[in-house]
Amino acid sequence: MEHLELFFKSIFIDNMVFATFLGMCSYLAVSKKVSTAVGLGAAVIFVLAVTVPLNWLLDQYILQEGALVWLDPAYGVDGADTMDLSFLSFIMFIATIATMVQLVEIVVEKFSPSLYNSLGIFLPLIAVNCAILGGSLFMQSREIPTLGLSLTYGVGSGIGWFLAILAIAAIREKIRYSSVPPALRGLGITFIITGLMAIGFMSFGGMLTGGDEAKKETPKVATQPENKTDKKEAITKVIADNTNTNNQ
Amino acid sequence: MGLLSKKDAALLKDPLTDNNPITIQVLGICSALAITAELEASIVMSISVLFVLGLGNVVISLMRNIIPSKIRIIVQLIVVATLVIIVDLVLKAFAYELSKTLSVFVGLIITNCIIMGRFEAFALGNGPWRAFLDGIGNSVGYGVILIIVGFFRELLGAGTLLGYPVLGNPIPGELSGLYAYGYENNGFMLLSPMALIVVGLIIWIQRSRNTSLIEEN
């Protein structure tokens, strides 16, 4: 059940593109045709499904505070030599991703040349796609508890990204026949359509919670430092209340 | 400019207008949009990118003759990741609350396409001084858009700038400023989709002013 919940949550509610703007660069650059969009989307699902669980293992057994306890009890959280290597996580994650992408490329080329031909040019691009690193970083910051769930999260986020790029590519293929204001053609209208789609996707927010839970991306202002004046807090509270009403 | 030759000055100026990394080159959108709900976060993000891109361009440019071209992506990623770790640790030490707001988006500077894009397109083929100017120019161009978006989103969404209420006091009972005349904040501006629409509008304005930038459909 929690797998199913996380799966749908990562596809719709925390959609990579619409909720967190990850992988926007390739999303905008490679969405002119549906066929190429499908290729890139499939590659993203694949790579996320591989790298998120792998980085989960790294995080759990090497990077977290006291994670090295399997080497020696002294490295545990309460041990004498406890270590917190989490400052290394950026470099470890990106190295894993770059290596995995290279490895996946070699394996796919060897065993499935047809898949390689369709994904081929996109695979190297993926190493620097924010969606991939973002997947791992969110996995870490949301403290996903088990390896199985991290796999679900990776696949779910990948599918969410796939859906987003597929939808925008289909729209962009059709919008060629509309008369868009000249200055808005191409990039401008794509931004605005994506914005509208993101508003649409926000309505999924009520799907799992029944709409009674405050949304994740309630204004950042609301989570501001508490050491500012009381007046300021009161103001932000009013803003937060306003926004919550809008959400529901 | 006496200090810079004409070509060098162009490196600094072009990214600000006609070759802007966000609105024209479409690089670095990923982290640009998510953190612009507040002006302060936008400014900090711009400074972080300025640091990483300026320094990273110099480092890559110094190493450009010894990096084997086959593994250059990994080398570039390691250089960026190191610089980003420095930024992250500095933010955690001196601006902890802000680093919470920025959350994973500091880490995502690593895969910010603007950085890899400038490394590939410029730093690998030019000397350190020119690479430095290019890095500064592009990150300022990036920062300008971020700050414009952050300014409008915070002003219209929360009625504040950098956390200070500039439009008056919206608390019922002690209304002042614009709120006394029935003005309401548009809480929608604080939600993520509006960032996309604001950038879309900036692109629209920019391209109406400079029609040579208009794309084919």
Indicate whether A226 pLDDT > 50. no
Indicate whether B1 pLDDT > 60. no
Indicate whether A235 pLDDT > 70. no
pLDDT, tens digit, for every residue of B162-179? 877 777 776 766 777 777
Name the band, by pLDDT with cuts 50, 70 and 90, for residue A19: confident
Test the B interface: residue of A13, A24, A237 with most B CBs within 10 Å: A24
Q: What is the mean pLDDT of chain B?
A: 80
pLDDT for residue A119: 65
Alpha carbons A117 and A180: distance in angstroms, whole number? 35
Q: At what angle do helices A187-202 and B192-209 cross, to 10 degrees?
A: 160
Q: What percent of chain B has pLDDT over 70?
A: 93
Which of A191, A221, A242 is the closest to B199 by Cβ?
A191
Phi, psi of B183 (to 5 degrees): -70, 140
pLDDT, tens digit, for every residue of A44-70? 888 889 889 998 988 888 887 777 777
pTM for the full model?
A: 0.77
Alpha carbons A83 and A77: distance in angstroms, whole number? 8
Chain A residues in contact with B172 (beta carbon < 8 A): 238
Which of B34, B82, B110 is the closest to A20 by Cβ?
B34
Name the band, by pLDDT with cuts 50, 70 and 90, for residue B159: confident
Name the band, by pLDDT with cuts 50, 70 and 90, for residue B3: low
pLDDT for residue A122: 66
Whether B197 and A191 lie within 8 Å, measured CB to CB: yes
pLDDT, tens digit, for every residue of A179-217? 888 778 878 888 888 889 888 888 887 766 554 445 454
Q: Which amino acid is at B165?
A: P
CB B22 within 8 A of CB A21: no
3-state SS of B5-70 is CHHHHHHHHHHHCCCCCCCCCCCCHHHHHHCCCCHHHHHHHHHHHHHHHHHHHHHHHHHCCCCCHH
ipTM of the shown complex: 0.80
In chain B, the residue whose alpha carbon lies closest to the alpha carbon of A225 is B97
Chain A residues in contact with B171 (beta carbon < 8 A): 234-235, 238
Number of continuous H segments (helices) and E segments (strands) in chain B: 8, 2
**Stretch 46-105 of chain B: residues touching chain A, C-beta under 8 Å:** 73-74, 77-78, 81-82, 84-85, 88-89, 97, 100-101, 103-104
Q: Which residue has the higher pLDDT, A233 or B214?
A: B214
Whether B101 and A199 lie within 8 Å, measured CB to CB: no
Name the band, by pLDDT with cuts 50, 70 and 90, for residue B64: confident
